[in-house]
Structure 1
Amino acid sequence: MDRYDRLLLAELLENGRASFAQLARKVNLSAPAVAERVAKLEASGVITGYRAQIDLSKIGLPIQCVIELRLAQHGSQQAYEELAKIPQLTQCHRVTGDPCVIMQAAVGSMPELETLIDRVAQLGFSKTAIILSSVVTDRVPLAQLGLPPPRDA
């Protein structure tokens, strides 16, 4: 990956819907060169996809939380399979440290949150924190790639 690839990644992180012509103007390359580079980044697995960012509260999920879980049976594949079936979970990570799993969830109401906590607690000891606001979300550490932070940071 060279400087142009890193610049393209930074621009795509800011606007994944940018056209090749728009990207070309931002990084000082031709549109065909940008198209070729983006295709190579996709083929190599650096770019794994494009997605819309959704305000969960505007689709009826105003309560987001972080749930830590210490499994009753450490490393239980069955527990991980059960967690994967819970539709309210937006992220689920197996981690080192005291909790075995850290998850994020989105629910529509406090009763739904209570039901979710009860379901998760069947797998072990859980601790839940409601997210009040988010200071950083979905950020890629561009400085480590030798690039400046996003313009809005």
Structure 2
Amino acid sequence: MDALDTALLRLLLEEPRAGMREYARVLGIARGTVQARLARLEREGVIAGYGPRLQPSGLGYPVLAWVNLHLAQGRLDEVVGLIERMPEALEAHTIAGGEGDLMCRVVARDNAHLEEVIQQLLRMPGVVRTQTQIVLRERVRHRMLPLVAQLDRRSAAPDR
């Protein structure tokens, strides 16, 4: 990653709908260079995808919770496969050093629906028990711009 890569990433995050021609204009480079850089960043896994960021509450799912699942040994892949089929399960991460083995971010229409979602998780073969934390209010949204800005500062720092 060089300064041009981080500048391009910053533009993608700040103006995601601007388009290649505008990115090239702002950066003072050819559109082909923008395309080549983006293709490389995609191949390297820096850019994971494109698209709008949807808000679950806007889709009728205002309740957000983190559910930690305690699993029976050897059942991780099976449980993950079942979780992938649940529309209310937005993401799942294996964890270490905390409560449980797998942490899931789930959404629900209301608290009664959240209970149904948790019960569905508990019925999965391999799930021993769960622990749930209900989110009251989001304080810091998912963000990447400060991380990219930090890369900018690192690449601008003189070598020591």
Shorter-normalised TM range: 0.7 to 0.9
Give how far 1:37 is off: 1.8
Report the counterpart of residue 137 of structure 1 in structure 2. 141
Report the counterpart of residue 157 of structure 2 in structure 1. none
Summarize the Cα distance change of 1:144–1:99 in structure 2 as closer, same or farther, 3 Å threshold: farther
Where 1:22 maps in the other structure, the secondary structure is: helix
Where 2:37 maps in the other structure, the secondary structure is: helix
Report the counterpart of residue 74 of structure 1 in structure 2. 73
Separation in 2, partners of 1:67, 1:55: 19
Q: Percent identity?
A: 29
Report the counterpart of residue 120 of structure 1 in structure 2. 121
Where 1:146 maps in the other structure, the secondary structure is: helix
Separation in 1, partners of 2:135, 2:106: 10
Give how far 1:44 is off: 3.6
* 1:98-117 → structure 2 map (5 Å cutoff): 98-117=99-118
TM-score, scaled to structure 1: 0.82
1:94 aligns with 2:94: yes
Summarize the Cα distance change of 1:55–1:4 in structure 2 as closer, same or farther, 3 Å threshold: same
Separation in 2, partners of 1:51, 1:110: 29
Instruction: Please give the root-mean-square deviation of Cα atoms over the aligned residues, in Å.
Output: 2.1
Write the letter of the residue equivalent to 2:73.
Answer: H
Report the counterpart of residue 23 of structure 2 in structure 1. 23
Equivalenced residues, count = 147
Write the letter of the residue equivalent to 1:129.
Answer: Q
Write the letter of the residue equivalent to 1:13.
Answer: L
Where 2:64 maps in the other structure, the secondary structure is: strand
Q: Which runs of 5+ in 2 are unaligned?
A: 155-160
Give how far 1:103 is off: 0.8
CA contact (8 A) 2:10 2:149 kept: no
Summarize the Cα distance change of 1:79–1:37 in structure 2 as closer, same or farther, 3 Å threshold: closer
Write the letter of the residue equivalent to 1:74.
Answer: Q
Separation in 2, partners of 1:107, 1:53: 18
Q: Which of the pair has the greater relative contact order for Cα pairs under 8 Å at 6+ separation?
A: 2
Write the letter of the residue equivalent to 2:93.
Answer: H
TM-score, scaled to structure 2: 0.79
Q: Which runs of 5+ in 1 are unaligned?
A: 149-153
Write the letter of the residue equivalent to 2:55.
Answer: D
For 1:68-116, what per-residue CA distance to the aligned partner results, in whole angstroms no more than 9, with x for missing partners?
1122x03413222222222210011111123201111111122211111
Separation in 2, partners of 1:26, 1:54: 27
